[in-house]
Structure formats: structure tokens, C-alpha cells
Chains A and B, each alone.
Chain A
Amino acid sequence: MKESEIKNNNMNQYAICVKDVYKNFNVYLDKANTIKEKLLFLSRNRKERREVLKGIDLNIKKGEAVALIGTNGSGKSTLLKLMTKILYPNSGLIEVNGKLTSLLELGAGFHPDFSGRENIYFNASIFGLTRKEIDERLEEIINFSELKSYIDNPIRTYSSGMFMRLAFAVAINVNADILLVDEILSVGDEHFQNKCIEKMLELKEQGKTMVFVTHSMESVKKLCNRAVWLYNGEIEMDGDAEEVIKKYVEVTR
């Protein structure tokens, strides 16, 4: 009874609750991919168990913009993937309250032979939008991408910058309650980057919850009020963005 009350309280206040989460990966040193190899070379199944996250506890309030920082391999991206249910924890609980969209990699699922417009429909549907919702947003997405007349050309004819712009335009217009972003702020030229940051600030104003993984301390300062520093799968420091960054920069220097 009491436990469910606490849970209810949490659900109202928090967008994401991470409770004592552990995640291990099996790292195959020489992976046997087929049964034949598995039988013939038993030694090939040597694997190392690598603990990527060791007991993470993290509560993110609704409307908060949180940055996950840390060196490569500290488990930031893994934590993000767990939140979006691409990976599942070995133990512990993750609760998400609200519609969640993750931008782990832009343009995942774009089909090169289809036109930009068709890809908008397909990509947005992956994020769980209905036809009607996409129709409503189509104009805005095309405008945001600045692709203009190119929108009806097949994607394979796009430059990499155009590709990224379209992908970002779709992802940012999904209108989710929670937005997870993994190191994609370096999209396109400076003009477009600023536009992206502006759009994110606008979403933040609207009270969306955001979690960023990034190495750019500049954008953390611009966008986030809270930062969580991960080191070797554990939380090293959690608090005000400015303070955490200051400490982080000191230590990693």
C-alpha cells in the first residue's frame, strides 16, 4: 500500500525514474556466430562480462533539462538506450512517465530510394506519429529542414548536410513529452546548429523534459540546468550544471 503511494507520487513528479540499474555486456573476444563454430571451437566462446552501469539511481523531474557528461565509455549512451527501451537492464527498474522520443542517431531508417517527403512519413511513423499528426506537421518539418524544392527528390541525391537537416527536422517536431538526445547537436553548418539549439530552448520553455548526452560543454551551459557526471558506470557528481562542468573540466584536464 505504502509502496504504491510512493510510486504514485513519483509518477506525478518525475518524468524518468532510474532505480538501482545495473547493465552488463558480454564482450566476445572471438565470437562464434554459428552453431558449427560454437561446437568446433569451444574456446571461441571466450567472453568477458563488462559492467557498464553499476547501480545507477537517477530521478529526472518533469520539465528538467539534464546533461549526461563523462569520458568515452563511461556509460552515458547506454543509460540513454535503457531509458528509451532499446536495451533492458540486467537488474533494477526504469520508469518513464509520458511519451518519449529519442534521437540517438539521426536518419535511422531513412530509405535512400524514397523521396524526402516519403521519408518524413516513414521516419515520423517510427516515432509513433499517426498519419494525421504527420500531415499537420509536414509543413513545419519541411520549412525547418530548409530543403525547399529538394524535398521531392530521392534521399540518395542529398548531401550529407541536407540529410542531417531533414532527419533533425523530423525528430525535433515529434512533440514528445520527453526528449533524449545523443550527441547530435553538431548537425549542419553554424546557422543550422543555432537554429537547432533555439528550437530546443523553445521546447524547454514549453516544459518538455530533456536529457542530453554531449561532449560540448558550451551547449550544456546553454541548454541545461542540471548535469550528471558519469564515471566508469557510476554517478560521480550530480547537481547544478555550472558546478558539475567546472569540476569535470578540472579533473579531466
Chain B
Amino acid sequence: MNVFKELYNYRELLKTSVKKEVRSKYKNSFLGVVWSFLNPLLQIMVYAIIFSLILKNKQDNYAIFLCCGIIPWTFFSIAINKSAFTMIENGNIIKKVYFPREIVPISVVTAETINFLISTLIILGFVIVGGIGLSKYILFYPIILVAQYLIILTISFVISSICVYFRDLQHFIGIILQLLFYAAPIVYSQDTIPVEYQWILKYNPMTYIINAYRDIFYYQKSVEIRPLVILIIIGILACIIGYKIFNKLQKGFAEQL
């Protein structure tokens, strides 16, 4: 409980670091905020060309289908990737000033959440322009987001603190994320995978998240409540454990950085 009090006392720092994180992404780039739309759009285009034209994917409205997977995934992968580097980038200030260290991973994940909220506009654009339209199930969006936030924060706590001690983990993370990308139903639909390989998807928490987003935006139906609730409960517990690990490791940060 002490954590929350400490975070509350330092709420201004949390706010400014999130702002700084969001702003610095576009500072000094010519197109500025346009990149947050252009980047995923171009990515969707690349995958749409490869999978629908070259690999002959038969999914209806494939670009929209892709979009519902890629945008939540990008949120996940960028947040994790940044977490791996963030402590080292902030090493200078960690060595010299005391502040609750958990602010660093929390602000990275929160800043990416804001970027994700902005890029959700792309999904909305796709479903509206693509003729699918919107449904009332969009109300599930914040619940899915909470589950996703918890998962990402947990991983961020663990990754950001371990990377201080083992810097080469940073390089593995890129590869692992690429592996996870194909082990989640992003470019394909879960039911196209043979039964004997389904377990791989089942162990990837992002599977449930992406399926849920796809349910509300693409299929226009209610999410599956049970897996989502279980995910949130596990997410909360994991987050506590993740924080404990972080807290243990943070005591050595100033010496390692």
C-alpha cells in the first residue's frame, strides 16, 4: 500500500514523464504526430500485400482484420521494447536523484497506452470506411485495455529491472517479440491453425487480447467474458509479483548503471 502513497506523492513526476515520453517521440521529426498514423498504416499495407496478394489469404476485409490485430500488438511490442532500454537511458538521473523507480516503467507503459488510444482512431477509420461500421460492443474496449495494460505493466516491471543487470537481454527481446508476433492470431485467424498447435496460442496472453479487440471491432459481437475476467485476475496477481521482483532488483540499480 506504501507504493500507492509514494506514487501519489510523486504524481506530478509521473504526469510529466508520461508527457515527456509522448512528446519526445515526435519532437524533431518533420511529420510529427502524423507518424503515429502513418507508421501502422504502412505496416498494415505491407502485411496486407504479402498475405492477401502473395499468400492468397481468404479472410474477408483482410486489411480491417489485420488492423485489429496489428495495432494492439504494436502497443504491446513497443512498450516491452522500450522497457528494456528505459532504465539504462535514465541511468544518469537514477544514479543522482531519489524518486520511486517504478515511475519509470509505469510512465513508459502509460505513454504507450496514450499512443495506443490515438492509434485506435485508425481501427475506427478502417471499420467505418470499410463499411463494417460500429456496434455497441465497443463498450468492452476499456475492459480489454485494462487487461492489456496489466499484462504489459507486469512484463515491463520484470524486463526493465532485469535488463539493468543483463544488458544482452535487450537483443533477445526483439527476437522473442518477433516469435510471439507469429504465435498470436495477428496475421491469421485462430481457427485456421491446426488443432495440435492451438496450445501455443492458448499460452500467449496477447491471443485473448487480440481476439477480444477483433470481436468488438471486426466481428461486431460480444467478447468472451470468461477468458477476459480470468486474464484480468491473473494480470493483477502477476503485476504484484512483477512489482515485487522489480522492487528487489531496483536496490542495485545505482550500482549497476
Contact = CB atoms under 8 A, between A and B. Distances in A.
Contacts of A124: 12
Interface in A81-128: 81, 84-88, 100, 102, 104-105, 108-109, 111, 113, 121-122, 124-128
B27 A102 contact: no
A26 B255 CA distance: 9
Interface string B16-36: 100010000001100000000
Given A33-B167, A105-B96, A108-B96, A125 B16 contact: yes
A125 B254 contact: no
A159 B54 CA distance: 58
B254 A126 contact: no
Contacts of A127: 97, 99
B254 A86 contact: yes
A33 B169 CA distance: 11
A131 interface: yes
Given A34-B167, A34-B168, A111-B20, A126 B93 contact: yes
A206 B92 CA distance: 32
Contacts of B27: 113
Nearest to A107: B96
Pick from B13, B16, B97, B167 the residue with the most CB of A within 10 Å: B97
Interface residues of A, number: 31
B95 A86 contact: yes
Given A34-B167, A81-B254, A113-B27, A122 B16 contact: yes
How many B residues are at the interface, by size bracket? 20 to 34
Interface in B136-185: 166-168
B251 interface: yes
B9 interface: yes
B14 to A, nearest CB: 8
Contact of B20 (A26, A35, A108, A122): A122
Contact of B12 (A34, A35, A111, A129): A129
A246 interface: no
A104 B97 contact: yes
Contacts of B95: 86
B10 interface: yes
Contacts of B202: none
B221 interface: no
Nearest to A182: B96
B93 A108 contact: yes
Interface string B233-257: 0000000000000000001101100
B4 interface: no
Given A87-B254, A113-B27, A128 B13 contact: yes
A111 B95 CA distance: 16
A72 to B, nearest CB: 18
A108 B90 CA distance: 10
Given A111-B20, A134-B12, A102 B98 contact: yes
Contacts of B16: 121-122, 125
Contacts of B99: 126-128
Interface string B95-109: 111110000000000
Contact of B92 (A100, A108, A128): A108
Given A125-B13, A129-B12, A35 B98 contact: no
Nearest first, the 8 A-B pairs at minimum CB distance are A108-B96, A125-B13, A125-B12, A109-B93, A88-B251, A34-B168, A105-B96, A84-B98
23 contacts: A26-B255, A33-B167, A34-B167, A35-B168, A86-B95, A86-B254, A88-B251, A88-B252, A102-B98, A104-B97, A108-B96, A108-B97, A109-B92, A109-B93, A109-B97, A121-B16, A126-B93, A126-B97, A128-B12, A128-B13, A130-B11, A130-B12, A134-B12
Interface of B: 9-13, 15-16, 20, 27-28, 92-99, 166-168, 251-252, 254-255
Given A121-B16, A127-B97, 6 more contacts: A85-B98, A86-B95, A87-B255, A88-B252, A113-B28, A125-B15
